[in-house]
Amino acid sequence: MNKSTLKKRLKEWDDKQWKEELEAKSSIMVYRSAKTAIKEDPIYDNTASSIILFQARSNTLPLETRKRHTGEETTCLLCGDGEEDQHHFLLECTKLAEERLKMTSLQRPHQEDQLEVLKTFLFNESTEEMEKNKEGLYKLWRLRKRKLVTVTDGSALDWWPRLLFSLACLLTVVVGAILAVWVHIKLGQPQKVTIKRPVPVDHVKNALKCGSQQDKTSGYQRPPIVSRAVDEVLAEIVSHVVDDFFSSWYSQLAFEPDLQAQAIKNEIWESLRRLQDRLNAIDHVNFIATDVFNKIKQHFQRIRIAHEMSDGKTTLPMYTLVSYLANPERELQFLRSVAEVVIMILLPPDYSRCVPVRQLLRETLACHVFQPAIDLLCDPDFINQKVYEYVHHHQLWRELHQRTYTYAASYEDFIGIIQESNDVDELKHIRFNIVTEIMQATTINNLKRARGMKLTQDRRPQGSSKGDLLQDMHDKLRRFAVFVCLFYVKEWLTCTTAADAAVSNLGRYQDLNVLRRVDPKVAEAAMEVYGRHTWYLTQELVTLALVSSLVDPPTKRRMADVIHEYATEQATATRMGKPDLPTLPTEAGQVKALELDDFIGPESRTVFGVLGISAGFLRKPLPWDGDPDFDRLATFVLHLRVTNGTAERGVKLISDFIGHITTSDFELQELLQVVEAHRQRYPDYSKATLSAAV
């Protein structure tokens, strides 16, 4: 019998016992007739009304009828008419009739079955009606308790003697305790009590700040691992791993998460250095000539056996299965052992000595790193897909390598190849070839300059062949292709939103600043033109970046703080026309240091006034998701269309039209009506439309 069958039979036996016990109890007839299945009831919650509802359903309300077991009187204390049971409390008590009239479910004809009335009231199928009945039942119960305060067996003031007696007892105990302590002190020997004052909290805080400043100033000298290029790639990978798997959640909890993140990066880098030291100790000749060769030989032997088995020449061979692959549990246990060895070898000794940290790292490496990686690499489908992708990519690469830009007959043909290409890999390949030739040309020029040779970059070709044309246009083509591949291709293949437009504008401007290293003339010209299209970096529109997911929380926090700095200033009226574009710096260091909060100004609060949204959520800690004002702002911004060149030309035309055609509002409205009528008559300028209109 397997586990699922056993659980199923246990559940069936439990359900049967539950039903038999229900049938045996006569006091819960209403519950037994209405409760047909064991399942969760959504009507219950963590309130007092839910407790009263459950007691009423199970006939366990603390009414007077419970006293029948002790031989006491069970008559209703409110009306004095009959035994106070659940039926009397809900349907017959005259003292509760006024409150009962408010509940329509209890208004029934006299001849109707009382059991059905209680069942309908306590187990209504409508959730909305059941909520009303629950609240009504709770109010009815509270009314009964209030009336019982004044209706008691004796006088309404008989609780005063008990209260006075209780106070006297309490006072006696307190006075006796005080006297006992006083006598003990008087009779005892005088002792000197040493008062130890706790260290002030400010001292601890200052010590933590001093330690934090020391960590910032000390720095970490990263040891070289392989080479400069490889180390840069490794550093980027380590940075991404820490940002994705650590800083993403730790930054919301810690005071200074950057210090802890940097400490983790340093530990990972130290582990890589230890790994490199271990790899350097390997005998590479023996490893390649013996270990790798034997594994390749075994692989080919198994391939030969598999071919012979497919041809029917041999039977199934005996394979040796290692012990840790007997079942998934043993495999996971083996991976835990491997993880502990890795921790002891690659990490500092403090990690191995601390048992909780060692176990946490062991489970993380074994369950979330080693096991998923092994399952993925050992999956035949994954291996086949990677082999297919490699073969397919290799074929495309060969075709692309044969179709280089040098086969273009002219400059126009080369531009046509770029414009007609829809393959990002092809454009990257063209860019790679161009960058390679730039590096080669730079190296040759440096060699010529070192030898004292005169550079002839402006030499005009004498012939008209393909090679002469390429030689003539080499410099201009290189500059143009670098600019196209690095910037225009990225703009063609990406489409941002109004929330991300400010990040995109600032990023493109900083990318052009980087282009100065390669071609200062093209970069400065492009930066000058691009500076006239930074609409979303204006004070009015940079606030939209608060909704963007591309802006990190620290930047949003700084933007919110700067907006609050301008909160006390008198906001100007909303201006029509073009906004004042920000003045962007041109110095390389200043451009690199630009942040979105540098563009916040007095007009940045305009969007809150226009939308009628309170900016109070900016004072709250991040994230702001769930705040009503922030959700309204996000809904508005995420539905905005990004302003493009067509929209800018349209705004320019209508601005010129309003300012030059007429200054009278009445004439302007009439002219707009004439234009609208003309557009409806001639929606386009095709021959068919004009012929039909004439």
H/E stretch holding 676 = helix 665-681
For residue 415, count CB atoms less than 10 angstroms from its CB and return exposed for 0-12, middle for 13-18, buried for 19 or more.
Answer: middle
Cα 626 to Cα 552, 605, 615, distances in angstroms: 18, 21, 14
pLDDT at residue 335 in the model: 92
To the nearest 5 percent, what fractions of the chain are helix, strand and coil?
70, 0, 30
CA distance 142 to 138: 6
CA distance 88 to 107: 14
CA distance 138 to 55: 11
How far the first Cα of the chain sits from its last, in Å, is: 89
Say if CB 516 and CB 524 are below 8 A apart: yes
Tell me the CB-side half-sphere exposure of residue 566, using CA atoms within 13 A.
19
pLDDT at residue 203 in the model: 57
pLDDT at residue 647 in the model: 60
Phi, psi of 75 (to 5 degrees): -70, 145
- Non-local (6+) Cβ contacts of 485 within 8 A are 427, 428, 430, 431, 434
Say if CB 220 and CB 266 are below 8 A apart: yes
Give the other-Cβ count within 10 Å of 630's Cβ: 21
Say if CB 369 and CB 405 are below 8 A apart: no
Q: At what angle do helices 48-57 and 127-150 cross, to 10 degrees?
A: 90
- Biggest distance spanned by C-alpha atoms of the chain: 127
For residue 562, count CB atoms less than 10 angstroms from its CB and return exposed for 0-12, middle for 13-18, buried for 19 or more.
Answer: middle
Give the other-Cβ count within 10 Å of 137's Cβ: 24
Q: Tally the residues of the chain.
A: 694
- Non-local (6+) Cβ contacts of 55 within 8 A are 61, 62
pLDDT at residue 460 in the model: 42
Say if CB 546 and CB 584 are below 8 A apart: no
pLDDT at residue 302 in the model: 81
Secondary structure (H, E, C), 279-314: HHCCCHHHHHHHHHHHHHHHHHHHHHHHHHHHHCCC
Phi, psi of 83 (to 5 degrees): -75, 135
Angle 501-503-505 from CA coordinates, rounded to 5°: 65
Q: What is the SS3 assignment for 75?
A: strand
pLDDT at residue 334 in the model: 92
pLDDT at residue 502 in the model: 81
Say if CB 144 and CB 78 are below 8 A apart: yes
CA distance 280 to 274: 10
Name the DSSP class of 217.
Answer: H
CA distance 640 to 415: 34
Q: How is residue 217 written in tokens? A: 């100033």
Instruction: Enumerate residue ranges in the chain where pLDDT < 50.
Output: 109, 111, 153-157, 197, 201, 214-219, 457-470, 570-572
pLDDT at residue 646 in the model: 56
Q: What is the SS3 assignment for 83?
A: strand
Q: How is residue 382 written in tokens? A: 């994954």
Nearest-Å Rg of the Cα atoms of the chain is: 42
